[in-house]
Amino acid sequence: MIPKPSIWMIRISMIWLLVSAMAGGLILTHKAADLHPALWSLLPVHYELAIWGWLVQFVIGTAYWIFPKKLEGERRGPVLPAWVMVFLFNIGLIFLVLSSFSPNISANALIGRSLLAISILIFAGLIWQRVVSYRNR
> Is residue 137's pLDDT more than 60?
no
Q: How far is CA 120 from CA 44, 77, 100, in A?
A: 21, 16, 22
Would you list the domain boundaries of the chain? 4-136
What's the CA gap between 20 and 56, in Å, rounded? 13
Q: What digits encode the pLDDT tens for the residues 28-37?
A: 998 889 888 8
What per-residue confidence (pLDDT) applies to 83? 98
pLDDT tens for each residue of 89-134: 999 999 999 998 877 778 999 999 999 999 999 999 999 888 875 6
Q: pLDDT at position 86, please?
A: 98
12 pLDDT more than 60:
yes
Are 130 and 69 in contact by the 8 Å Cβ rule? The answer is: yes
Q: What is the pLDDT of residue 101?
A: 84
pLDDT digits (tens, 9 = 90+) for 40-87: 888 989 999 999 999 999 999 999 999 888 777 788 888 999 999 999
- Between 20 and 75, the higher pLDDT residue: 20
Dist CA 59 CA 52 (whole Å): 10
Residue 6 reports pLDDT greater than 90: yes
- 95 contacts: CB under 8 Å, gap ≥ 6: 108, 109, 111, 112, 115
| Maximal C-alpha separation, the chain | 64
Per the CB < 8 A criterion, the answer to whether 93 and 120 are in contact is no
Contact at 8 Å (CB) between 92 and 114?
A: yes
Model pTM?
0.89
